[in-house]
Amino acid sequence: MRETTMAGKTLYDKLWDAHLVKERDDGSCLIYIDRHLLHEVTSPQAFEGLRLADRRPWRLGANLATADHNVPTTNREQGIAGIDDPVSRTQVETLDKNCDEFGIVEFGIQDRRQGIVHVIGPEQGATLPGMTIVCGDSHTSTHGAFGTLAHGIGTSEVEHVLATQCLIQKKMKNMLVRVNGQLGPGVTGKDVMLAIIGKIGTAGGTGYAIEFGGEVIRNLSMEARMTICNMSIEAGARVGMVAVDDTTIDYVRGRPFAPTGELWDQAVESWRNLHSDADAAFDKIVDLQGEDIQPQVTWGTSPEMVTGVGGEVPDPEREQDPIKRGGIERALQYMGLAPNTPISGIELDRVFIGSCTNARIEDLREAAAVVKGRKVSPRLKQAMVVPGSGVVKAQAEQEGLDRIFIDAGLEWREPGCSMCLAMNADKLGQGEHCASTSNRNFEGRQGFGGRTHLVSPAMAAAAAISGHFTDVRELMQ
């Protein structure tokens, strides 16, 4: 283990130490898990494993389940029967059955609180500062925005957590990503994170727990901090975190599962310590300057293939490294893009505003502000908005955002993962270009042969209006 007694502790060190149950002789550690989130895709084999070994969940009340990946974004009044694909239906039914059988609380697909698992945890106060949080989903890093130690796990680990409330872990290294200065207008948390990934690469954070700090991060809302932590995994890091401050505490206060009364005061007092000590040592520090960050657009098939909206698709000829050159060539071929094409020259077929990265209320407000009083380009086959949860949807409707979207020609859908990974009916057709607020632009991610460009909600909204990428700052003038 690293010597941590002399220097101060990082936030990650503190969270780790507070959850260490036992360090074994071989250096592996047993870490206690406070919150376990479940969804339909990565849990069935884990429940089956429990049954086969005749085991019960260790602490039922620590678990929260919801169906999100497979759920349709229309016809929700029919419940599970409204899922056309029988294989998807079985998976959602299996989650219901497993939660019933074991006694795990689940927000079913007709529950108003249902939504993408990483949206509902914070929204319900099931995510609290200082917790360890895991889920069979790599974007569990989202919850790190609350000063938690949160990361994705595989299905065998889902079973392990259910059965023991612990995980076997090795400590990661500490990385600090500092975003200094100020962001310009029209530049959002998503752009910050895409710029970070562009800088350190998709393997840049492998083996590290990243803490995001600096003035820009301190000034961001919880929603934007969640967007940033969400995509830590796209930078290779399982864990992304932000220190707790008033913004965090104000967000958590009054949430359904948050503590109240005396317990709240006691909790807040302990949460105030959830930051890295001034003299804490990091294994690696990366600095970015907020003023340098432009609205970002990915042009390739990996999130690190990204540039500013004013930029161009790269020319593989100019890349020295043969493996990288091959990667660029393959990506351009898949994306159907010629070298040196200006980003603003990329024409679009669809726009998707949604996912655990960008489907919270603030994201929808940003998108609505851009499309308000305008019309979606006739070039587009479809532009859709999929709120992250039933609660977000209700809030947006109360604010009239749904009307703004519908009037502009965007579709207003029911909550779920939707076209982020296209496990339900929402997909790209072959060769179609999509401006998407999700987190992965991998080949086939949004549909067989589909071409994804990752952007912020504001940039997706601007693209919906123009039919191609446009600098959203021009629409804001």
Q: Please name the amino acid found at residue 267.
A: A
Return the number of other C-beta atoms located less than 10 Å from residue 247's C-beta: 17
Check whether 135 is labelled as a binding-site residue: no
Q: Which of 116, 194, 421, 428 binds another protein (CB under 8 A)?
A: 421
Nearer to ligand SF4, 309 or 434 (CB): 434
Nearer to ligand SF4 by Cβ, of 241 and 356: the residue is 356
190 in contact with ligand SF4 (CB under 6 A): no
Residue 29 or 361: the one with the smaller Cβ distance to another protein is 29
From 295, 319, 315, select the one nearest 307 (Cα to Cα).
295
Interaction residues for another protein, span 185-214 (CB under 8 A): 202-203, 206-207
Structure tokens at 458: 């504001």
229 labeled binding residue: no
Q: How near is the Cβ of 350 to ligand SF4 at its closest, in Å?
A: 16
Question: Is 426 a residue that touches another protein (CB under 8 A)?
Answer: no
The yes or no reply on residue 474 touching another protein (CB under 8 A) is no
CB atoms within 10 A of CB 2: 10
What binding mask, one character per residue, do residues 350-389 give for another protein by CB under 8 A, x or -?
A: ----------------------------------------
Provide CB contacts within 8 A for 7, sequence distance 6+.
277, 279, 280, 281
**105 vs 406, which CB is nearer to another protein?**
105
Is 129 in a helix, a strand, or coil?
coil
356 a known binding residue? yes
- Burial of 141 from C-beta contacts in 10 A (0-12 / 13-18 / 19+): buried
Q: Name the residue with tokens 């077929």.
A: 349
The least distance separating another protein from the CB of residue 128, rounded to whole angstroms, comes to: 7
Q: Which of 4, 164, 247, 289 binds another protein (CB under 8 A)?
A: 164
CA distance 423 to 355: 13
CA-CA distance, 209 to 169, in Å (whole number)?
Answer: 13
Q: Please report the DSSP string for 78-144 in residue order.
A: GGGGG--SHHHHHHHHHHHHHHHHHT-EEE-TTSTT-B-HHHHHHHHT-S-TT-EEEESSGGGGGGG
By CB under 8 A, what part of segment 225-284 binds another protein?
Answer: 233, 236, 238, 257, 259, 263-264, 266-267, 270
CA 340 from centroid of its chain's CA atoms: 30
- Among 130, 147, 189, 308, the residue binding another protein under the rule CB under 8 A is 130
> 217 or 417: whose CB is closer to ligand SF4?
417
User: Residue 22 pairs with which residues in a beta bridge?
Assistant: 30
| Cβ neighbours for 465, distance < 8 A, ≥ 6 positions apart | 370, 371, 374, 375, 376, 377, 408, 475
CB of 116 to ligand SF4, least distance (A): 5
Question: What are phi and psi for residue 144, nearest 5 degrees?
Answer: -60, -15
Find out whether 300 and 333 touch, Cβ atoms under 8 Å. no
> With binding defined as CB under 6 A, does residue 356 bind ligand SF4?
yes
Our finding on whether 355 is near ligand SF4 (CB under 6 A) is yes
Q: Which of residues 128-187 bind ligand SF4 (CB under 6 A)?
A: 137, 139
Stretch 413-452 residues interacting with ligand SF4 (CB under 6 A)? 417, 420-421, 438-439
Place of tokens 């779920």: 416
Single-letter residue type at 360: R
Q: Which does 444 bind (CB under 5 to 8 A by kind): ligand SF4, another protein, none?
A: another protein
- With CB under 8 A as the contact rule, which of the stretches 8-16, 50-58, 273-281, 465-473 interacts with another protein? 50-58
429: left (phi over 0), alpha (psi -120 to 50) or beta: beta
Q: 161 and 153 in contact (C-beta within 8 Å)?
A: yes
Minimum CB separation from another protein for residue 22, in Å?
A: 5
Is 116 a binder of ligand SF4 (CB under 6 A)?
A: yes
Binding residues for [4Fe-4S] cluster are 356, 417, 420
Binding residues are 356, 417, 420
Binding footprint of ligand SF4 on the chain (CB under 6 A):
68-69, 116, 118, 137, 139, 355-356, 417, 420-421, 438-439
